[in-house]
Amino acid sequence: MADATTIESAKRAAAIQAVAENFDPAATHVGIGSGTTIVYVVDAIKERSTNPNIRYIPTGYQSRKVIEQAGLTPFSFDSLSDDVRLDIAFDGADEVDEDLNCIKGGGACLFQEKLVAEKARKFICVADYRKNQSRLLTNWHTIPIEVAPISVPPVLRALRELGSPNPQLRQTLLEKSGPLQTDQGFFIIDAPFPPLLIPADVEAGKGKGDGSDGTWEVNKLSQAIKRLTGVLEVGIFSGLDGVEAEKLRESDAGKTLPVITGGQKPIAVYFGMQDGSVQVRRAKK
Ligand SMILES: O=C[C@H](O)[C@H](O)[C@H](O)COP(=O)(O)O
């Protein structure tokens, strides 16, 4: 069992290396995710950046406060024109599999994180070693799903039909305050599922991956949940590979940003390890 100091040191080490290797001080637009790890990313950016003209695009209230407290300049996503791309976006993750699919939303931020990730030429995640797993839902057991409050009962029922044994509406820490509200004023349902397959598992015959035999492949489950009426976004970042997405964006330079469905996998994830080292998992070229 690791102590809090080891975990925080791991986050900091990963953030420092991720920023050193990917942050370009000549950038004009930088996306900033949410959570506890992103604070170290912003600290590392602040150390390196002398450019007061960089616009930092937050992914929610907490993210905007982190940017402001660092003395950097926040710029709202909805003030960006559609043809502007972010040079890069950094974010945390709750779990990452060997294909770089991620679960996010442990802190109730996922919708704006997806918008920002999809608008970035390069999307980088930073996490500590607990998040490094070969399959999603190994150590982190539930998928956060952002839903319209009115739709909670039918979405819970539909999730059970998809095979989630006991999906729960996330509550605030203070029980009398009721369900936790997102930055959009929506609710979060946390849906447990068995560990998710990657496409290679389905090809290897480890399961159908379409829910019919109790197994789900990560993209298929994400799409099945996203289709439910009342679901704003699913906390699975999968879909287009980071390298594939980057190529698509480069080839489309100057035109409208291509629509990337199903979220986006990062092009690289920096894991701070228990021994103080940093492991980098990159998308395969
Ligand atoms: O909702 C929160 C976000 O998706 C975070 O990026 C994620 O939960 C990771 O947070 P942390 O860096 O605190 O582990």
Centre of ligand 1 from the C-alpha of residue 33, in Å: 8
Exposed, middle or buried by CB within 10 Å (0-12, 13-18, 19+), for 93? Answer: buried
ipTM for the whole complex:
0.99
- C-alpha–C-alpha distance, residues 193 and 209, integer Å: 12
Please state the atom number of ligand 1 nearest to the C-alpha of residue 126: 12
Q: At what angle do helices 218-226 and 152-162 cross, to 10 degrees?
A: 150
Phi, psi of 215 (to 5 degrees): -110, 150
Distance 109 CA to ligand 1 centre (A): 7
Question: What is the dihedral sign for C-alpha 233, 234, 235, 237?
Answer: negative
Q: Sketch out the chain's domains with CATH numbers.
A: 4-133+238-282 (3.40.50.1360), 142-236 (3.30.70.260)
Residue 177's Cα: distance from chain center in Å?
Answer: 27
- Residues of the chain with pLDDT below 50 are 254, 256-257, 262
Q: Which residues touch 166 (CB under 8 Å, ≥6 apart)?
A: 192
d(CA 220, CA 209) in angstroms, rounded, equals 7
Residue of 63, 90, 104 to mutate, ligand 1, most atoms within 8 A of C-beta:
104
What is the pLDDT at residue 82?
87
Which one is catalytic: 113, 146, 217, 233? 113
Model pLDDT, residue 83: 85
Which atom of ligand 1 is found nearest the CA of 93? 9
Check residue 264 and give its pLDDT. Answer: 78
> What pLDDT, on a 0 to 100 scale, did the predictor assign at position 248?
63
pLDDT at 131: 98
Instruction: Note the pTM of the prediction, 2 decimals.
Output: 0.94
Ligand 1 pocket test target in 34, 136, 264, 270 with most atoms within 8 Å of CB: 34
Question: What is the per-residue pLDDT for 175?
Answer: 81
Active site residue 146: no
Q: Which two tokens stand for residue 63?
A: 């993210």
| Strands 268-272 and 123-128, bridge-based pairing | parallel
pLDDT number for residue 135: 98
Ligand 1 pocket list (CB less than 6 A): 33-37, 91-94, 104-110, 113
| CB 122, CB 88: distance < 8 Å | yes
Tens-place pLDDT, residues 150-176: 999 999 999 999 999 999 999 998 888
Residues 226, 263 contacting (CB under 8 angstroms): no
